Amino acid sequence: MRILTGIQPSGKLHWGNYFGAMKSMFDLQAKGENFMFIANFHAMTTVRDGAALRAATKDVALDYLACGLDPEKTVMYRQSDVPEVQELAWYLSCLTPMGLLERCHSYKDKLAHGLEATHGLFAYPVLMAADILIMQADLVPVGKDQKQHLEVTRDLAQKFNNAYGETFKLPDAYIPETVATIPGTDGQKMSKSYHNTIELFEPNGSIKKKVMGIVTDSKTMEEPKEPEGNSIYELYKLFATPEEVADMAAHFRAGNYGYGHAKKALLEAYHRLFDPFRAKREELAKDGDTLEDILRAGAAKARAAAAPTMEKVRAAVGL
């Protein structure tokens, strides 16, 4: 089974990215042939500064390696190191009805958040389909917001197969329901566009400030509280063991347990998981050569994996 996922280097990765996307990829790492790429072409829809894009690409690679990506088990590469995806995106584009892209929520959301309506932003799902289809992926771990893009991908694969003969596998999205939407510090979905994120590796002082600043209602410490739906509790569930979670729920319901107590428990649980990742990241960041070697080796494997499909595609379309 081939498993592929991609992530845009368009900002520092946050808790929502870790639990919504990265973790399911790590969990699947032992289950198939894995590919993970850094979608730097996609990030150009929002990042217009070359140095910033390059730095963010490196940051994403370091974050993944620090948190558990094993380059022996997962091929990690930069999207731009497989330029054939742009070629495939064109072939798919020629089969893509405008209406299909016009219906994409993500495009409409981005416009609603003030992004310029460029062709790149509009055609984004076609390039995403090319990323997936070029690798003949079976399974694509993504967040819930990417579900429609996977439907577009399947649709385009089908259109290509109908027009030119059986060429592409139809991939499935892998969206664990348990981590559907991670809340941010203001209770809305955590997202860099909403400025409510807690980054994976921001300085410890700033993590503490953000956790302590998570918005709550104004119940007093003495009052009993319903934990379900409370952002601190929802975030704690991601980091803590089931026993610890049950314990926090009981404390909330019993009363005499304030939001401050829960925030401290959340912070401790974050450190337990992330302190070793932070140490590993610092180690890797000191050694630029190893990172570049991993990305170059990944690029070579990814291009080799894409080659047979591209040969077939070119022959099919008449080139």
Active-site residue numbers? 110, 189, 192
Q: Are 138 and 169 in contact (CB under 8 A)?
A: yes
DSSP state of 87: H
Instruction: CB nearer to ligand TRP: give 110 or 225.
Output: 110
Q: How far is the CB of 281 from ligand TRP (least distance, A)?
A: 21
Q: Which of 5, 40, 57, 309 binds ligand TRP (CB under 6 A)?
A: 5
From residue 27 to residue 66, the character string flagging contacts with ligand TRP as x (rule: CB under 6 A) and all else as - is ------------x--x------------------------
Q: Are 232 and 259 in contact (CB under 8 A)?
A: yes
- Which of 21, 134, 232, 265 is the binder for ligand ADP (CB under 6 A)? 21
Q: Please state, in angstroms and rounded to a whole number, the distance separating the CA atoms of residues 66 and 24.
A: 15
Q: Show contacts with ligand TRP in window 110-129 (CB under 6 A).
A: 128
Residue span binding ligand ADP (CB under 6 A) among the ranges 84-92, 185-193, 229-237, 291-299: 185-193
The helix (H) or strand (E) run that includes residue 172 is strand 172-174
Element (H, E) at 55: helix 50-67
Q: Which of 3, 132, 214, 235 binds ligand TRP (CB under 6 A)?
A: 132
> Tokens 């991609």, residue?
6
CB-based burial, 201-217: b 16+ in 10 Å, e otherwise: beeeeebeebbeebebe
- Contact between 193 and ligand ADP per CB under 6 A: yes
Which residue's CB atom is positioned nearest to ligand ADP?
143
Q: Look at the block and give the residue holding tokens 């416009």.
A: 111
Does 145 engage in binding with ligand ADP (CB under 6 A)?
yes
What is the three-state SS of 72-133? CCEEEEEHHHCCHHHHHHHHHHCCCCHHHHHCCHHHHHHHHCCCCCCHHHHHHHHHHHHHHH
Q: What is the nearest approach in angstroms of ligand TRP to the Cβ of residue 85?
A: 9
Residues that bind ligand ADP (CB under 6 A): 7-8, 16-17, 20-21, 142-143, 145-146, 181-182, 189-193
Residues that bind ligand TRP (CB under 6 A): 4-8, 39, 42, 128, 131-132, 140, 142, 146, 149
